[in-house]
């Protein structure tokens, strides 16, 4: 028997994690949440797995889809080994989507594992991500989490371009390389996901001219003003999703905790794009310790403050008014 919450549950016999709120009511499809990051190794899969486990414990039916085309490792954060069936099998197969799910040892939580072998990933087969999204809409889940690849690639673009995606979570750490790559990710997001084709060309030629201009001749807000004009003139791609949601992972001090607000302000002033910092997860050794044991932190160290932060964050995401929580 695993230690932690399970044993606690057995002792008390009545653990109530959170009260399930009907977040999916009014939706004819599950909520689609995509988790992205500009740089790899910043805790994207860790966050996705923690989000999935916490939501399933709150009573929601959750499916996690490992879309990392560089070889998904989401299963490692869920205490499992490589799964026999993966997304690649779905793309090349003809069976119903639910035959590709695998259970991960948590009630109401399923995983559609990532591509477990890099060889042959290019030959996707007959199905695409658009087919996957269409199939997922009919599945009886409350929430579907997409763990995207780091940076931008065709798979990410295909998923994010879909108007079915309800929210996008962007993970960063306080390291400059992570922050820098997230800005590049946001630029790509604006260019490839939000802008219409003619506006994409306009932005590229504007940026080329800006690059060639003498630095002293540049206007402080010219990028913002250009994007503002584009948005006012043509509007963005008809996306209805809310602002990008930013999570600062591995925060070590108070300065790191304020990073989310800073990035928000800079995105507003530079990209004319709304970004919503939704939470900070502190650096904790528990993550690499449980990672080595290939077990979720939530079950390995349920009373760790980091677990409390994750639960608080998820509670906030699900319902601002949901206050009741045990553990």
Partner 1 sequence: MNHLFHGTYYDLLEIRPGSPQHEVTRAYERAKQTYSSDNPALYTVFTEMEARELLKLIEEAYLVLGNHIFRSRYDEILKDPETQIHDLKFQDIVGPLLSPGVDKQKAYFRPHYQKESKMEEIIQGEEACDGAFLKKVREYKKISVEKMSEITRISSHYIVALEKNDWSHLPAMVFVRGFVVQIVKVLELNEKKTVDSFMKIYKADVAKKK
Contact 103/56 with Cβ under 8 angstroms? no
Q: Where are the beta strands (DSSP E) in 88-223?
A: 102-103, 109-112, 143-150, 167-172
The contact pattern for partner 1, residues 118-157, with x = CB under 8 A and - = no contact, is ----------------------------------------
Residue 294 touches partner 1, criterion: CB under 8 A: no
The values of phi and psi at residue 286, to 5°, are -60, -30
Query: Which of 65, 158, 148, 172 minimizes the C-alpha distance to 109?
Result: 65
Candidate residues 174, 279, 296, 302; the one interacting with partner 1 per rule CB under 8 A:
174
Q: Which stretch binds partner 1 (CB under 8 A): 68-76, 116-124, 201-209, 257-265?
A: 257-265
Contact 70/111 with Cβ under 8 angstroms? no
CB of 219 to partner 1, least distance (A): 4
Residue 266 touches partner 1, criterion: CB under 8 A: yes
Candidate residues 3, 95, 154, 180; the one interacting with partner 1 per rule CB under 8 A:
180
Complex with partner 1: residue 107 or 216, whichever CB lies closer: 216
Candidate residues 128, 154, 201, 221; the one interacting with partner 1 per rule CB under 8 A:
221
Pairing mode of beta strands 31-37, 143-150:
parallel
Residue 262 touches partner 1, criterion: CB under 8 A: yes
Complex with partner 1: residue 1 or 215, whichever CB lies closer: 215
Q: Token digits for 221?
A: 């807000």
Complex with partner 1: residue 233 or 292, whichever CB lies closer: 233
Q: Token digits for 50?
A: 């923690």
Residue 196, number of CB atoms within 10 A of its CB? 14
Between CA 183 and CA 3 the distance in angstroms is 40
Contact residues for partner 1, defined by CB under 8 A: 174, 176, 179-180, 183, 215-216, 218-222, 224-225, 228, 258-259, 261-263, 265-266, 268-270
């Amino acid at each position: 028997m695993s230690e932690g919450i399970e044993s606690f549950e057995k002792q008390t016999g009545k653990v109530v994690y959170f009260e399930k709120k009907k977040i999916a009511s009014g939706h004819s499809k599950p909520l689609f949440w995509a988790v992205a990051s500009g740089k790899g190794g910043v805790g994207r899969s860790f966050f996705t797995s923690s989000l999935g486990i916490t939501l399933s414990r709150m009573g929601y039916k959750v499916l996690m889809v490992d879309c990392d085309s560089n070889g998904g490792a989401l299963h490692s954060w869920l205490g499992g080994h490589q799964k026999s069936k993966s997304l690649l099998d779905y793309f090349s197969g003809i069976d119903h989507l639910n035959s590709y799910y695998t259970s991960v040892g948590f009630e109401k939580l399923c995983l559609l594992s990532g591509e477990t072998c890099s060889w042959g990933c290019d030959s996707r087969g007959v199905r695409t991500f658009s087919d996957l999204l269409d199939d997922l809409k009919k599945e009886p889940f409350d929430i579907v989490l997409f763990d995207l690849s780091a940076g931008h690639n065709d798979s990410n673009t295909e998923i994010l371009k879909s108007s079915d995606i309800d929210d996008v979570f962007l993970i960063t750490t306080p390291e400059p390389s992570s922050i820098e790559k997230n800005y590049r990710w946001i630029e790509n997001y604006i260019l490839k996901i939000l802008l219409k084709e003619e506006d994409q060309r306009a932005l590229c030629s504007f940026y080329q001219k800006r690059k060639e201009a003498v630095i002293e001749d540049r206007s402080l807000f010219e990028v913002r003003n250009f994007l503002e004009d584009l948005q006012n003139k043509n509007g963005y791609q008809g996306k209805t999703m809310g602002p990008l949601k930013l999570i600062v992972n591995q925060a070590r001090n108070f300065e790191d905790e304020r990073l989310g607000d800073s990035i928000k302000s800079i995105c507003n002033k530079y990209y004319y794009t709304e970004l919503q910092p939704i939470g900070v997860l502190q650096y904790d050794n528990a993550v690499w310790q449980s990672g080595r044991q290939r077990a979720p932190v939530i079950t390995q160290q349920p009373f760790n403050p980091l677990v409390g932060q994750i639960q608080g964050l998820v509670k906030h995401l699900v319902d601002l008014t949901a206050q009741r929580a045990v553990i």
